Copies of this chain bind each other. A is one copy, B any other.
Amino acid sequence: MKKSATINATPICKIKMQGISDAMSLLSGKWKFHILGTLMEGDTLGFMDLLREIEGIGTKMLSKELQDLEMNNLVTRTVMNTKPITVKYSITEYGKTLSPLIDELAKWGIDYRKSVRERG
C-alpha cells in the first residue's frame, strides 16, 4: 500500500497551509515588513521620509514595494496639492490588522538574538 499525506491532508491543515502561502505571497521580500512597521509608527510619511527612515532601501525597491502594498490595500498613496507636489503614504485600516503579526515577528527576532548571545 502506497503511503500518502495524512497530516496536511486534513481540511484544517490544508486551510492553514494555504493561509501561510497567501500571507507570504503578499508579505514576502526584504522590505515589506520594514515599510509597514515604519508606517505604523509614523502614520503618514512622504516618499523621502520613508527613504530616510528605512536604512538601506533604495528608490527602486521603495517605489515598487509601495505599489505592491497599495495594490493589496495595505497602504494608501495620496498626492497632495502642494508645491512642489508631495505624496503621503499611510497604512490602511486593513493594513493595521498586520500589527500583531509584525509585533510577533519582531519579538521573536529580538528573543532569538538574545538566545544566541546567551548560548554564545
Determine how many copies of this chain the complex contains. 2
A4-18 vs B, Cβ < 8 Å mask (1 yes, 0 no)? 111110000101111
Give the distance in Å from the alpha carbon of A21 to the alpha carbon of B32 in the complex: 11
Asked if A42 and B112 sit within 8 Å, CB to CB, the answer is no
Asked if B55 and A109 sit within 8 Å, CB to CB, the answer is no
Starting from the known contacts A8-B54, A23-B105, A97-B108, 20 additional A-B residue pairs (CB-CB under 8 Å) come to A3-B48, A5-B53, A5-B55, A8-B53, A8-B55, A17-B55, A19-B105, A19-B107, A19-B112, A20-B34, A20-B102, A20-B106, A21-B109, A24-B109, A26-B112, A98-B108, A100-B104, A101-B101, A101-B104, A104-B104
